[in-house]
Amino acid sequence: MNYTSNVKAEGSSQEYDTNETVDSCQKMGANAVSRMKEEIQNNFLAVLLGSVIVSLLTGYLISRHHEAQKREQWAEIFFRQVKDWLGERGRRATTPVQESLESARSAAKQFSRRGAEYGRRLHPFSGESRRRFLGIF
């Protein structure tokens, strides 16, 4: 214990020189900056190629996204136009069919009325039999 207290006492008794620490920090910063400049100069081609590749890849992905959006919009517009065209043509096509069905229905009603009338004329006594209760009434 005695030894540690002496070390602390000696460390605290020494003068702390701020000029030395500032100079050493500036030297370390200058060394770091010069090392970074050298590394950038050594790797300039790799950084340039990397940035070109990244920009080309980004442009390619953006163009594919826009192309997909255009395809979706084109498909929506096309199907909307087809639906409108079919709706317009469908109404035109169903009108004659509907009219022919109505005329066939009215002809069938007329035929059934005339058939019933002719049947009554040919067999006047074979009309509906009266309902009887247990054959008595």
Range of the domain at 40: 19-122
Full-model pTM: 0.37
Q: Residue 2: inside a domain, yes or no?
A: no
Angle CA 66–70–76, to nearest 5: 145
Q: 127 CB contacts (<8 Å, ≥6 apart)?
A: 120
Q: Is residue 91 part of a domain?
A: yes
Which 8-state DSSP code applies to residue 78?
A: H
Q: How confident is the model at residue 73 (pLDDT cuts 50, 70, 90)?
A: very high
| 54, part of any domain | yes
- For residue 131, tell me if it sits in a domain: no
Domain count, the chain: 1
Kindly state whether residue 10 falls inside one of the protein's structural domains. Answer: no
Q: Say which range, 11-20, 59-68, 109-118, has the weakest mean pLDDT.
A: 11-20
CA dihedral (94, 95, 101, 104) positive or negative:
negative
Position 11 in a domain:
no
